[in-house]
Amino acid sequence: MNSAGDAPTLVKPNSPVCVEEVDHITNREGKKLFCRYWKPQDEIRALVFHIHGYAEHCGRSKELAGRMAELGIYSFAHDHVGHGKSEGLTGHIEDYRSFINDIWQHIDIVREKNKDIPLFLYGHSMGGGFAVAAAQERPQDVNGMLLSAPLITASPDTATPLKVFMAKALSYIAPKLRVGKLELSQLSRNEEQLKLYQDDPLVDRDGMRAGFAVQMLRMCDDLTRILPDVDVPFFVAHSERDPATNIGGSKLLAELSNCKDKTTHFYTDPLHMLEHETPDFVDSYFSEVLQWLQKRIS
């Protein structure tokens, strides 16, 4: 998998469940993407590609990936361009479709050595929107998708006509200008998790750039058009209290999708980072995710 020919680096000692390795690939634009792999010790029953959200990195999926390994699921992921340890200007992209291209490039590399094994996409926040876009691009290659607080439609409270106009104007004049950021307290009720997020050097806390914001709006417009054609089985989870992504997009997906195999979990208590909420909630949420997967790979 390493385009430079180096051996992948073992970052976690062998355990009864899985081995964690890090590596890199080089995308079609020549940028190195930092990758993580959580491979079960025993038979691989399924592949799950984890797609992280804006300003985050793939290492934040390690807890869920470890739980998946207990079911024989091989999880893998990379930091998007401009995120985490991958190359590229932090928080900048010219076309969101390049993220989708990177996703499929990475998946194709892993599937080359794991043929005929079911593939699922797990996407959080912005990564949830990427998962829908990627699955719709090649639905024949995806057995299902799990969406955690996905970005599918822009929030009417934040994407007002004036704000959209200003963002688009700035994207032409100063696309790399930082234009806004969420308050840390809006992401989770778990103070310990918020501290870990705050102290994580790989998390970008400086706010979204104007050009990136316009690309996210473009993605939402594209997704809204394709929702009726989505026919890939999906699990979608979202909170009514989520201040970061619009739960209306998840509900619209559930309403418009042509798929007969769809599972929805709409909560009233958590905030945005469902994988990093209060311990009781996370345990329950992980159980819902794993049960959904188990039924589709057994």
Q: Is residue 269 part of a domain?
A: yes
**Segment 64-79, tens digit of pLDDT:** 999 999 999 999 999 9
| Distance in angstroms (rounded) separating the CA atoms of residues 72 and 109 | 20
0.85 exceeded by the pTM?
A: yes
Contact in structure between 3 and 26 (CB atoms under 8 Å) = yes
**Segment 102-136, tens digit of pLDDT:** 999 999 999 999 999 999 999 999 999 999 999 99
| Distance in angstroms (rounded) separating the CA atoms of residues 92 and 171 | 11
Work out the average pLDDT over 39-54: 96
Contact in structure between 131 and 121 (CB atoms under 8 Å) = yes
What pLDDT score does 164 carry? 81
Contact in structure between 55 and 81 (CB atoms under 8 Å) = no
**Segment 249-276, tens digit of pLDDT:** 999 999 999 999 999 999 999 999 999 9
DSSP annotation string for 57-85: -GGGGHHHHHHHHTTTEEEEEEPPTTSTT
Q: Is residue 3 part of a domain?
A: no
In the chain, the largest separation of any two C-alpha atoms, in whole Å, equals 55
Q: Is residue 17 part of a domain?
A: yes
**Segment 76-91, tens digit of pLDDT:** 999 999 999 999 999 9
Active site members: 125, 242, 272
Q: Is residue 39 part of a domain?
A: yes
Please give the tally of structural domains in the chain: 1
**Segment 208-246, tens digit of pLDDT:** 999 999 999 999 999 999 999 999 999 999 999 999 999
What pLDDT score does 16 carry? 56
Question: Domain range holding 160?
Answer: 9-297
Q: Is residue 55 part of a domain?
A: yes
Around Cβ 24, how many Cβ atoms within 10 Å?
A: 21
Contacts of 130 (CB under 8 A, 6+ apart): 51, 96, 99, 100, 103, 123, 219
The CATH number that applies at residue 125 is 3.40.50.1820
Q: How many helices (H) and strands (E) does the chain have?
A: 8, 11
How far apart are the two ends of the chain, measured CA to CA in Å? 28
Q: Is residue 69 part of a domain?
A: yes
Work out the average pLDDT over 175-197: 93
For the beta sheet containing 119-124, the strands, ordered from the edge strand earlier in sequence to the opposite edge, are: 9-10, 18-26, 32-40, 73-78, 46-51, 119-124, 144-148, 234-239, 262-267
Work out the average pLDDT over 164-192: 91
Q: Is residue 1 part of a domain?
A: no
Residue with tokens 């690309």: 215
What pLDDT score does 7 carry? 43
Q: Is residue 23 part of a domain?
A: yes
